[in-house]
Structure 1
Amino acid sequence: MAPLPRAVGVLAALAAMAAPPASAQQATEKLDSVVVTGSFSRSVQNSIDTKKNADAIVEVVTAEDIGKLPDVSIAESLARLPGVAAQRVDGRAQVLSIRGMAPKFGVTLLNGREMVSTGDDRSFEYDQFPSELVTSAAIYKTPDASLGTQGLAGTVNMTTLHPLDHGSRRVNLNARLDRNSYGELVPGSKAQGMRLSASYVDQFANRTIGVALGVAHLDSPNQKKYFNPWDFGKAGDISVDGAGNAYTFNGLETGVSSTQTRRDGVLAVLEFKPGNGLHSQLDLFSSRFSQRMNGRELVAYWANWSNGTTPTFTPLPDATQGGQVGNLTPFVTERKNDRDDRVRALGWNTELKLADWTGQLDLSSSHAKRAEHIGEAYVTGSTPITLDVRMPGDFHHFGTLSTAFDYGKASNFILSTPWWGGGAYASQAQVADDVKSLRLSARRSLDWGPVSGFEGGLIHSRRSKTLDYVGTNYDLKSGTDYDGTTCMIWPVCGGPIPASVVQSPAQLSFVGLPGLVSFDVFDAINSGAYVASPNDPKSPTWNWGIKEKVTTSFAKFNLDFNAGVPVRGNVGVQAVSVRQTADGLYQDSTGALNPITDGTSYTDVLPSLNLIAELRPNTLLRFGAARTVARPNMADMRAGLTASVSQTDRTWSGDGGNPRLKPWRADAFDLSLEHYYGKGSYIAVAAFEKRILTGIVTQSVAYDFSGIPNPSGITPTSNIGTLTTPTNTSGGRIGGVELSGALAGARVSPLLEGFGLLASYSRTHSNLPGTDAHGAVTDTPLEGLSGTVYGLTAYYERAGFEFRVAQRYRSAFTAARHNAFRFVMDSIRPERITDLQLGYNFQDGALKGLGLLLQVNNLTDTPYVVTQTVDGITALKEFHKFGRQLLLGASYKF
């Protein structure tokens, strides 16, 4: 069944089943009083209650118990909410798209405070935050003026626990074994790991002091198999059909990678509420996150620009399906990526009630650091081979290779320089992100006709983030081959792989080969076989430092009145003043680097309105209107640029960032109709539209190069030239509809007690100005836009037994990815991810409080597929599979 009929059919069924006939009204009222005992059912009910009572349009997920979200990651839990989709990175749900908009259009808060990020930009990476330390997370789809920092797509607010909200001491222990179904693809990696967590909550001094402590340890294996064809298009110099007009690929890369992910998170909360109007809470979060990736990759290319020998290519009848490559130089890339991240967040919130007023002081500081070391080394065979290549005929399978050559035998290879850059490459990335914030606010209840309350205040934050990439090329030792002849970068040359670094072959049976030569990159670089080269292919103009000072003043009036039906909500306004400064490097025509600094300041006035009309008991009509903003990508704001004066026409040209870039701005309108049927059941339909006032595109614009050094000796005709840079534009819209619902089986029949369904469906479209391949402005889909997103969860909980199966789907979308040099856009095919969970909780006896769990994520091993389109023909670009994640564990609470 297609996604739309399936999702709409399920929602229609929810509405029909949840609405009992009049003759069953008395029975229904009795059912409403049933106590919900299942942990997931209780989570669903709490989430629905929060959604119903909110003054904004929100979607909520709450923990089943302390330290127990419904999924193994926050991103996966949030991705099941209406209109939300997760983007996978190496198989893990890492960042979120809200209402079809890329992660950069959202904002993530922790306890109401903006979170730092160790990524290359603002987007929060959810896999770095332990789900065990979160009690709830809400996605605000319409703004609330008192919330502070907010996004154009939406705002995610993760909440940690408040110890005084619990009636007694609580201790929760969780342990799970974690295994990947692919086992060990790269020698030295691990097929299994573990997840451990513990939390302690207690109250002292007659419940005036509360303490909460939580720790979470993750040691998880991630495996990847991939097959990536290269450069689809007309054959050109391959001359498949004698004229070069047939379509084919120029080459491919296929391989495996194994990543061991470790994370240690700590949360500490101290709450003080003596009962005299004072309430103070101090919370500390700290996380250490590390990844150790080892990859092994076979490379084959048959275009005439290839290195070493000149290969021949005998195509199959359809050249896009592959063929036989002769006179091919065997080529393998060894990869390694070591990454260490640290995130710390400290917050202190104090409220004091004086007469009718409650004042609040909130101080916070958060800091993130990333140190990443990436390495590559290259080996080639000394004798040409023949390789049969079979490209996949669809987007659902790997291609296959066959050859008599043993790719797994180290003695068949030599260290070599197959690329222009040398025989090995290593880069280091350093990222530091720091946010400090102060919030002063006050609120009180009012009785001014329709106005029931007021809140106002000031938020000031300072953010500083830097990114610095440094790369080193490595030539073979002393710049000579092992026989003493000069080693040129072109053609191939080299010597044996040092025996001390050789490992067992990596697995490559999924493409038809028994194995692939394997060794540790950094061990090889440190073996003495290489010497560092001064050549660094990565432009330092892409490194940047950004400083932002943001002052937000806000006022909000709560509303409560009768307009024929009860109406509540709020109206508010924010005035957001921003001062931004960017540091970078200017690289002139000689390659010399010069520091450059630029920036701007501006103020946005952001009104917001939320109204909720209770049309009848438990039937709500919500309306929201607001102006929203999304700060630009920090890479787009960089000050770095390259420029030169042309010898032919003596004009300036260059490319770089734009420190004077203004944010995305939009006027947003929301309408939602919701009906709540009692405990754990509701149905809702919503529509939204965002009219883009200010957008951002990359295009060539007139630029004044006055003051830019010009060592070329060529006098320009004018200082006004052309710069390719991100720039503000206007126009466009984003809109869509969302349907969601939940049904507790007992609403239909007592025989279905314990059963339940959750379903959501959203359809989103956009029409925004962009640029085509030639730099011309044209309409383009929004980055991150999946036109269709749906989720479906079925569960059963009764007598201690638990069963849950969940599926989430998103249609094709584009996503920005930072490759070795800069951001590129990937076209990603639809994804349907299915997860399964089984469990049993002992209800009484000596084992009361003990729970057993079996969880399988990515049950169908859904691939991650990227495509490339040339002349209207869509072909495969990347095909990745990550295996199933199996978790077996136990929890104990007392």
Structure 2
Amino acid sequence: MRSIRLAAYLVTTAGMALSTTQVMAQTPAPATPPAAAADDIVVTGQRASLAKSLEIKRDTIGIVDAISAEDIGKFPDQNIAESLQRIPGVSIDRVNGEGRGITVRGLGPEFNTVLLNNRLLSTDAGGRSFSFDILSSELISGAEVYKSSEARLQEGGIGSTVILRTARPTDRAGFRISANVAGRHDNTSNEVTPFFSGVISHSNEDRTFGVLASIIYDKRISQLTNISTDGWIINQNIDTNGDRVRDTRGVSLPRTVNYTSTRNDRERIGGTFALDYVVSDELKLTLDALYTQQKVDSRTNQLGYYVDPDRITNATINGNGTATSFTVLPATATSGLASDNILSTSPQDARTYQIGGNLAWTPSDDLTVVFDAAHSNSRNLSDQLFYVVGTRQVGVTPTFNLVGSDGLPEMTNILATNDKSQPRLHCCSERGGRNYDTINQGSIDGTWDVGSGILSKLQAGVQFTNRLKTTVVRESPEPLGCFYCGYLATAPGTLFSDFSANVQGRDITWLDYDRDALVRYYGSAAAVSQVGGTSQSAIDARNRFLAVYGGNNNSLDPIDRERGSGTVRENTYAGYVQASFQGDFGERRWTGMLGARVIHTNLFATGYSVTLLNIIQNPADPTAAVPVYSPTVPVTANNNYTYVLPTANFRLDATDKLTFRLAGSRTLTRPTLSRLGLSQDFVFRPPNSNTVSGGNPFLKPFLAWNADVSADYYFSRTSYASIAGFYKKLQNFIISGQQPEEYFGLQFIANRPYNAQDGDVYGFEAAVSATFDFLPAPFNHFGGAANYTKVESSISFDPSLSNQTFNVEGLSDSANLVLFYEDDRFQIRGAYNWRAPFLRQTFGPQSQPENINSYKQFDVSASLRLFDQVSLYGEVLNLTNQKFRSYSRFDERLITLSDQGRRVTVGVRTTF
């Protein structure tokens, strides 16, 4: 019966004909499934997807959840992260309204190992966590999330191991072409952009040779707005009665008040290639390749007000010590509050590829040896602009208030925000970086099917992984960045134009400008002559600026900077042994698995050491300072560690429909690569926001002892109910230790990572999925799924404790609900996703906690089969236009309230 289902199984992803997801060759043989009635056989559509996902879950000894091509292709999701969030216990973080990283059972992206076809995939980000926003769901045929570990699985995932799979050309015989063409509308920009995906595959009739290639093009244009504060500065002394005496202590103030509009032009291109060649009954060769690139042209216009505690008066303070209102003393020509017209960019030029080869040798019926090798490479280039032109608030008394149900910050009693006669040059610079990640990996795995006794299978293998992460920091050379800090030069009105936006319900107009024209004016005699006086030191400063400006091609273009740059090279060696067992308790069938994985890690870090020689404060701008550094000196460091990771899994098939599972393991997650570097960096924002940060190559890995238990009841091949409990005892947790340090009379908060604390994470998952085939028509065409995850920790965040240095970040409850209707021609599906409030990071903006409000999203998709080979479909993502909100410590301390955007897609899928 199972072979009939597999042969008949057909799903489509974006119009592609894709086969069932293949369970890894090393997976222990499943127990024989119970007999099913003929009407349980599922061959097409969403029921086929549910059947395959449930088959993977049922056949695995440990605890795993899966989604198949129908799930991915038919969800209105832009990338694979948004598809994975439908799995119990999985939630996601969004950037610009798109899923980027996954959190599994409360453990964030860095704690989840992501493999593509069982191979580690490089990432364009600074750490280890994979950025899912670069990977379109149309390139993936299936995904499995292993929540309990096995010795054969690559280490690194305390939270989970996620295995993404691409389609195989020999899954079906013959020649096939599929395509999907669509237009997507984003309500934030009111733009319609194209989407296209296609696949071509061919296999001979006996499916011993086949090739497959796929391609995807996806463009999105959004215009997202937000109101933000850049965090809150704490423990300030404030005047509350207008007598200019700072008589109230321990007050928290917004660092800034910002109104922001960002236009993002995102273009994603990707493709896969696969080749299968069955040389003989003993030998099979496969080749896989993936390429994906994402380019983002991002331009931000921002109106900002930078708060200086020394100039605040008549403040109102609530019971949490939060300033809910205050006035700002009028500015003078040389000091006081300014309205900043900020132009910045945050481009992305990311590219990732992977190529891998696999040789499966079966010298006998009971022995298989698999050789695998892969190479993966990623890079991200991102030079960013950040320019500020400001207008001093002379002659007015600006007033700050938190208003509305969301407690939005607002500045009133201010000068006209688009007055072109007032702007003065202030700062800043162009900066950016280069991230490169290269992974070379090889493995040998052997599987021996022992026989029909209690010991059913033996597996063993070795693996080697070499990873090189390189970070290059770029910045405009000094003194270009802060030569005009303090609003030291007027700018002609001809440089500016009006920029208008509706920012979270507020119609605002402020100043826009062309970066190239502004940079030319930066280096003009008219601008430079306004800085300093007639003293020799002022003349020398102007001449130095002009010399550097001219030597930098009359620009503020960034150059590579040794300080902050470096590499981390990591070699890992692993070996494992795993045994599978089976037997009977009377009429009850049981299967088990015992194993251990031994890993050795060798890390080599390089960087540059620098000494801070002096800090020159700017008398025209008390919030700016110029550092003086010694020449850089190369430095290196080594770190090595070895661990044994035992695993145990047990499954009892109590009846044909009821299964119990129990699992225990020790797992490991290596420190994120960005924390292992030797770099040290200073940020100068006197008087209250100076920081110094650095890495630590001697960090130990995170460790966890895990226990899992579950009970699953299978109503049919497409319906089940499940409940699972989990417990994780975490060790070697890495925290950013904070302590005050003083350099040349200025106070800094030093942030450096170290291993410090242990903690527990525990909770449960409940899930149900059903198709109503047993009901009379038309109700037999309905189906649905729901799940809920509860996560707790022994260490809870207490907003009243200002000295709390460690929390398990990202913990939150989550829930999903999916309902669908499907017949021979028409299908419609609605999906609801909810994530409870959670602590994103203990040390966020201004070194204070960042919390995320609860988030819920509704998605809808529908399709109509016009002909045998053609379907019309539509999708709506974020139907209710849900917004994203974050805050610092207490709810009234808003960090940001931003759009996510509603996206509507209409397209045609076809298969020939």
In the alignment, which residue of structure 1 is the partner of 2:286? 281
In the alignment, which residue of structure 1 is the partner of 2:368? 358
Please state if 1:335 is matched with 2:326: no
Alpha-carbon spacing, 1:817–1:254, altered in 2? closer, same or farther (3 Å):
farther
Alpha-carbon spacing, 1:222–1:493, altered in 2? closer, same or farther (3 Å):
same
In the alignment, which residue of structure 2 is the partner of 1:25? none
* 1:118 and 1:369 in contact (8 A); partners too: yes
Q: What whole-Å deviation, never above 9, does each CA across 1:537-579 have from its counterpart, x for those lacking one? A: 9996543311110011011112221134211132211111110
Please state if 1:626 is matched with 2:646: no
Equivalent residue for 2:404, pick from 393, 400, 416: 393
In the alignment, which residue of structure 1 is the partner of 2:538? none
- Three-state SS of the structure 2 residue aligned to 1:416 is strand
Q: What TM-score do you get using the length of structure 1 for normalisation?
A: 0.83
278-287 or 560-569, which deviates more: 560-569
- Three-state SS of the structure 2 residue aligned to 1:746 is coil
Alpha-carbon spacing, 1:886–1:390, altered in 2? closer, same or farther (3 Å):
farther
C-alpha distance in 2, partners of 1:320/1:641?
A: 34
In the alignment, which residue of structure 2 is the partner of 1:867? 887
In the alignment, which residue of structure 2 is the partner of 1:116? 122
Residues 279-318 of structure 1 mapped to structure 2, 5 A cutoff? 279-301=284-306, 303-305=308-310
Alpha-carbon spacing, 1:256–1:473, altered in 2? closer, same or farther (3 Å):
farther
315-324 or 334-343, which deviates more: 315-324
- Three-state SS of the structure 2 residue aligned to 1:76 is helix
* 2:241 and 2:313 in contact (8 A); partners too: no
In the alignment, which residue of structure 1 is the partner of 2:94? 88
C-alpha distance in 2, partners of 1:381/1:96?
A: 42
Residues 727-738 of structure 1 mapped to structure 2, 5 A cutoff? 727-738=754-765
- Three-state SS of the structure 2 residue aligned to 1:838 is strand
In the alignment, which residue of structure 2 is the partner of 1:10? none
> Which residue identity lines up with residue 743 of structure 1 in the other structure?
A
In the alignment, which residue of structure 1 is the partner of 2:542? none
In the alignment, which residue of structure 1 is the partner of 2:189? 183
In the alignment, which residue of structure 2 is the partner of 1:140? 146
Please state if 1:609 is matched with 2:652: no
In the alignment, which residue of structure 1 is the partner of 2:511? 517
Residues 101-112 of structure 1 mapped to structure 2, 5 A cutoff? 101-112=107-118
In the alignment, which residue of structure 1 is the partner of 2:598? 575
User: How many Å apart are 1:254 and its aligned residue?
Assistant: 1.3
* 2:439 and 2:468 in contact (8 A); partners too: yes
Please state if 1:555 is matched with 2:577: yes
User: How many Å apart are 1:348 and its aligned residue?
Assistant: 0.3
* 1:210 and 1:271 in contact (8 A); partners too: yes
Alpha-carbon spacing, 1:512–1:528, altered in 2? closer, same or farther (3 Å):
same
Please state if 1:854 is matched with 2:874: yes
C-alpha distance in 2, partners of 1:235/1:589?
A: 27
Alpha-carbon spacing, 1:164–1:240, altered in 2? closer, same or farther (3 Å):
farther
- Three-state SS of the structure 2 residue aligned to 1:156 is strand
C-alpha distance in 1, partners of 2:166/2:260?
A: 41
User: How many Å apart are 1:666 and its aligned residue?
Assistant: 0.9
- Three-state SS of the structure 2 residue aligned to 1:616 is coil
Alpha-carbon spacing, 1:312–1:669, altered in 2? closer, same or farther (3 Å):
closer
Residues 148-163 of structure 1 mapped to structure 2, 5 A cutoff? 148-163=154-169
Please state if 1:834 is matched with 2:828: no
- Three-state SS of the structure 2 residue aligned to 1:757 is strand
In the alignment, which residue of structure 1 is the partner of 2:473? 469
Count residues in correspondence: 804
Residues 383-532 of structure 1 mapped to structure 2, 5 A cutoff? 384=394, 390-395=401-406, 398=408, 405-408=415-418, 411-417=420-426, 423-447=427-451, 449-472=453-476, 489-496=485-492, 499=495, 502=496, 505-508=499-502, 510-521=504-515, 524-525=518-519, 529=523
> Which residue identity lines up with residue 898 of structure 2 in the other structure?
H
C-alpha distance in 2, partners of 1:504/1:833?
A: 35
Q: What whole-Å deviation, never above 9, does each CA across 1:35-70 have from its counterpart, x for those lacking one? A: 546623322221111111122211111111996666
C-alpha distance in 1, partners of 2:658/2:565?
A: 53
Equivalent residue for 2:835, pick from 779, 792, 810: 810
- Kindly report the root-mean-square deviation, in angstroms, between the aligned alpha carbons of the 2 structures: 3.6
In the alignment, which residue of structure 1 is the partner of 2:808? 782
* 1:375 and 1:522 in contact (8 A); partners too: no
C-alpha distance in 1, partners of 2:485/2:892?
A: 35
In the alignment, which residue of structure 1 is the partner of 2:136? 130
Alpha-carbon spacing, 1:298–1:525, altered in 2? closer, same or farther (3 Å):
same
> Which residue identity lines up with residue 293 of structure 2 in the other structure?
R
* 2:593 and 2:648 in contact (8 A); partners too: yes
> Which residue identity lines up with residue 800 of structure 1 in the other structure?
R
- Three-state SS of the structure 1 residue aligned to 2:287 is strand
- Three-state SS of the structure 1 residue aligned to 2:152 is helix
C-alpha distance in 2, partners of 1:317/1:825?
A: 19
* 1:39 and 1:65 in contact (8 A); partners too: no
User: How many Å apart are 1:231 and its aligned residue?
Assistant: 2.8
Structure 1, unmatched stretches of 5+, are 1-27, 185-190, 418-422, 480-486, 644-652, 702-710, 713-721
Please state if 1:263 is matched with 2:268: yes
- Three-state SS of the structure 2 residue aligned to 1:731 is strand
Alpha-carbon spacing, 1:733–1:235, altered in 2? closer, same or farther (3 Å):
closer
* 1:179 and 1:193 in contact (8 A); partners too: yes
* 2:474 and 2:561 in contact (8 A); partners too: no
Alpha-carbon spacing, 1:166–1:525, altered in 2? closer, same or farther (3 Å):
farther
Equivalent residue for 1:758, pick from 779, 785, 801: 785
In the alignment, which residue of structure 2 is the partner of 1:879? 897
Alpha-carbon spacing, 1:425–1:617, altered in 2? closer, same or farther (3 Å):
same
User: How many Å apart are 1:399 and its aligned residue?
Assistant: 5.2
Q: What whole-Å deviation, never above 9, does each CA across 1:835-872 have from its counterpart, x for those lacking one? A: 11122123xxxx322122221111122221111126xx
> Which residue identity lines up with residue 263 of structure 1 in the other structure?
R
C-alpha distance in 2, partners of 1:91/1:263?
A: 15
Alpha-carbon spacing, 1:353–1:690, altered in 2? closer, same or farther (3 Å):
same
* 1:557 and 1:572 in contact (8 A); partners too: yes
In the alignment, which residue of structure 1 is the partner of 2:84? 78
User: How many Å apart are 1:814 and its aligned residue?
Assistant: 2.4
Alpha-carbon spacing, 1:30–1:674, altered in 2? closer, same or farther (3 Å):
closer
Q: What whole-Å deviation, never above 9, does each CA across 1:578-612 have from its counterpart, x for those lacking one? A: 10111122222422222111121111111111111
C-alpha distance in 1, partners of 2:115/2:708?
A: 22
* 1:416 and 1:476 in contact (8 A); partners too: no
- Three-state SS of the structure 2 residue aligned to 1:138 is strand
> Which residue identity lines up with residue 402 of structure 2 in the other structure?
M
Q: What whole-Å deviation, never above 9, does each CA across 1:413-440 have from its counterpart, x for those lacking one? A: 53411xxxxx221112100000000111
C-alpha distance in 1, partners of 2:677/2:60?
A: 39
> Which residue identity lines up with residue 759 of structure 2 in the other structure?
G
C-alpha distance in 1, partners of 2:563/2:100?
A: 28
734-743 or 831-840, which deviates more: 831-840
Alpha-carbon spacing, 1:578–1:63, altered in 2? closer, same or farther (3 Å):
same
* 1:699 and 1:771 in contact (8 A); partners too: no
564-573 or 516-525, which deviates more: 516-525
* 1:376 and 1:424 in contact (8 A); partners too: yes
Q: What TM-score do you get using the length of structure 2 for normalisation?
A: 0.81
* 2:648 and 2:665 in contact (8 A); partners too: yes
User: How many Å apart are 1:367 and its aligned residue?
Assistant: 0.4
Equivalent residue for 2:354, pick from 345, 348, 351: 345
C-alpha distance in 1, partners of 2:315/2:71?
A: 62
C-alpha distance in 2, partners of 1:240/1:102?
A: 45
> Which residue identity lines up with residue 154 of structure 2 in the other structure?
G
Structure 2, unmatched stretches of 5+, are 1-33, 331-336, 525-544, 614-628, 683-690
Please state if 1:236 is matched with 2:237: yes
User: How many Å apart are 1:120 and its aligned residue?
Assistant: 1.5
